[in-house]
A and B are shown apart, each in its own frame.
Chain A
């Protein structure tokens, strides 16, 4: 169990984050604030992918597909009614007359993403290891093609633009906190233990009475829900969304964060997400001014390969810092991946 002082530390950290945002909004310009928004969204993505990939060992690359589902759903729901009839002619009447506020739209987007992951997961999660990775990569492409060709609802390759700027740092921070809380609670619950057991030894987990398929599907759905929400936040931060926004490169970037941080470590993916997304943003002006496009991706892939060779368990392995872990469970935090 957590001690009282640990609980206070958690609350203190959350408040400190809030204070930081308060100060940032006071003193920094919009450009830096939007970068901070992206950093937060990457944290949500990396931690939620870690629930699927890190805890349960399901190597899914499908996160961008779920983001796309959530992002489009959310964007269509918040789209101003006056412009809907003109831009999105394929919408059914009841939907064309609806305009939701941000929070319910995000939730519905997340739920749709989770629903999509259920439909995809039931068949695909029977696959193992790298075959699952390839199949989920296929899911990204399939979702992209479907969105591109559903012009009446999604405006096809043009995408939806001119979305209202609803995402601000507070919304992002709220969802970062929800994601971290959910991830933390999951990891140190019996459900989380089942996930880790499946990752470590499927047959043993099966023998202990863990329902493999159900646990896997649930792990995928939790990840997909948060990815869907992140997609909605993303869409309303960029104020535009196109089928190309959610590509294989994005999946790769999130995977790098999870692998480098340590599969199964929430602290690890949190830090890796912050560092990598800030690095990427730092590379962007460099790329544009020196005209050296692609250098960011090269550095990213080089780091990933080096980590895979020299420290395959990532920076943190599966563990969290001792002073944040619940007591008397030290034995778990010591074990690394395979």
Chain B
């Protein structure tokens, strides 16, 4: 097919025709001073070698294709989990535009957040005036019930003091004195988005429990037997929160979700635009101090938050994004122990169905090697499920994982014979993963959308589980927690296995002897 003015072809097809293939080939030979094909092959192959891997792992300064995001992204996530809350990021506006598009591309929903739009003047003289004006504008423009403040690097580098600034803004009348303005310092040059989530959530809880910045008495805890639940920074929060609530309701548990983003990132197309929707009610956030215990689904997202809660006398339990039968068992049994409520027969039946499904399909997963990367808690949860399925995790990598994470993953791997050939890589990036996939190949890769470059390069089929997922739609609406969630993850993995099987068995009269209808 040729490109001409009569019929102009778009970018999908343009360069595929014979003329273009030929022309580009000629251009390469005549003008691009190409290296000999053998040389090209030699270097390409070298980048796949053990020698290159060693050089790659000796890299000190450059990060290539990192699998993490920044603190304020996590802070915005946490803030959006509360009723009528506007995330307000003190710092530069460009960062906030990124958070909004990042979340919108993943959740396919509008994401509301504002910044104090600091400019060069503010960088020199401090951002106080921006914060004062910004709070006033945000309050009158968007009529929030609460404004949760976090910071970008810009405010952090010059050391703006949020506590003092917010007091100042209230004195200047930006918002009423008793208006809720929790805050957290969230520099991107420390930690990652999971740290930011932790800091912001802690800031909000501290605000409500410790006297609302001096505008109310500090709450005294009067244990009421209820349970608090924290989900953490979770790309599946929409599906997961609904699943957790369903399970709690089935058990008859009295609970408070601290940070519930499931409605604000899943509003219906019914003719009404909801800038705010759902979320933890502010009075519930305050009363959560009286709960008997708090469960966090993601330990590394809630380290500081749980310390704060524990210090107020509650029992705190932290999981690592539990996925699958055993993970869910442990979660439900803790809930049952803490509340004294029995796990009903209906949930037991769900468990039986997941077990049945895994049994039906186990032959296809058993012994398959997996590489996975992602946030610290998610990789732990997924690794646990893979072991349960009889899969063999081989490389587990987390750019924002640290020493503690490494120890936990290693302990998990040691608990199963399927984990014995697996290595753990904390603080490494996806270019490291590329070397791993070439030197120690696996059958499948689990990761977020950015894994598609690795898939193309190394031909390792990518199973999309994680955050962000930009190029497949709506998976965030399905839970990965609970037995139902385990089933979803199982199906996601199986679908890729079967797709791959079909794709590698469909050459007519070459390998289509395996191109089967029944798999």
Q: Do A and B bind each other?
A: no
List the interface of chain A (C-beta within 8 A of B): none
List the interface of chain B (C-beta within 8 A of A): none
